[in-house]
Amino acid sequence: MTIDENLLVLLLALLLDRIAGDPQWLWSRMPHPVVMFGAAISYADRQLNPESLTGSQRRMNGIAAILALLLVAIAAGFVFNRFFALFGLAGILLETGLVAIFLAQKSLADHVAAVAVALRDEGLAGGRTAVSRIVGRDPETLDEPAVCRAAIESLAENFSDGVVAPALWYAVFGLPGLFAYKMLNTADSMIGHKSEKYIDFGWAAARLDDIANWPAARLSILLIAAGAWIRRGTSAGREAIRVAMRDGALHRSPNSGRPEAAMAGALNVQLAGPRIYGGVIVREPMINDTGRDVATSGDIEDGVSVFYASCMVLAGVTFGLFLCFL
């Protein structure tokens, strides 16, 4: 496909995902593509990451594994692209449906909004259960403001790597780029953490994922600021950019802190800070430490509102670029 066709498909996919999200009736009957990516990563892990290897051997195997997985993903993207091209308009619609599967607008917003609903209907226990579905930190260590912060942080971070990044990689490189990005991002979530088992084997996946998400994380700042301006006024849009520029690098991730800081500024709330993963305290400074220090369920709902407005801006930019390339 040409870039204008990619942009048309992306625009349609953004609209479809916004309306339909992730249809559970479909994925209860067949495996989600990301599940298949995960199965391939797990196979590589079992075959190439035995405990008997040294750290350097694991690192070399990890490099080989992620490169092989990326080549498979790119090849699959080319095959699907050529297959859809055989069917003209019907092929464009089929590709639209496939691209929408890899976006996470409605599903992400639904999961985050469910945390606010659970806090109000079921109290802290319900909020902890709901937030445990979207974050990796220990839910039993979270009080209500911490539950709210965790939900907002997940919303902002996943806006970048679950919406903006796949949209960007598809717009530029089509299905091969989208498949490669999703394979890499899935690998990072599975083997890219710094446990004893994966600190070497997952090193390449984690570093490449940082590189792949770098442009989307910075673009997310502008999109969140635009969404904040639409939903909360000019000052919220300015604060989103100001706090992102000032505090975006405070996060341990080179990318996650950017959209999180933008959302913190948009909502005038503190995010990040010390938290517990698997019983281990991760000490980080507060993002937007001059903002409100108690996040509420109302802040979650405001964050979802800003998120949806940011997604609308992304669709608008896509439409504008499509017109430019016509």
| pLDDT tens by residue, 213-260 | 999 999 999 999 999 999 999 999 999 999 999 999 988 888 999 999
**Residue 271: strand pairing partners:** 287
* Contact yes or no for 265/242 (Cβ under 8 A): yes
Domain that holds residue 10: 3-325
Total-model pTM? 0.95
Dihedral over alpha carbons 48, 53, 54, 57 (to 10 degrees): -30
Burial of 121 (0-12, 13-18, 19+ CB in 10 A): exposed
Contacts of 134 (CB under 8 A, 6+ apart): 111, 112, 115, 150, 151, 154, 158
| pLDDT tens by residue, 91-138 | 999 999 999 999 999 999 999 999 999 999 999 999 999 999 998 778
Domain count, the chain: 1
Number of neighbouring beta carbons within 10 Å of residue 125? 12
pLDDT reported for residue 272: 86
* Contact yes or no for 266/293 (Cβ under 8 A): no
pLDDT reported for residue 140: 85
According to DSSP H, which parts of the chain are helical? 3-20, 24-27, 33-48, 55-85, 88-101, 105-131, 144-159, 165-191, 203-232, 234-247, 257-267, 297-325
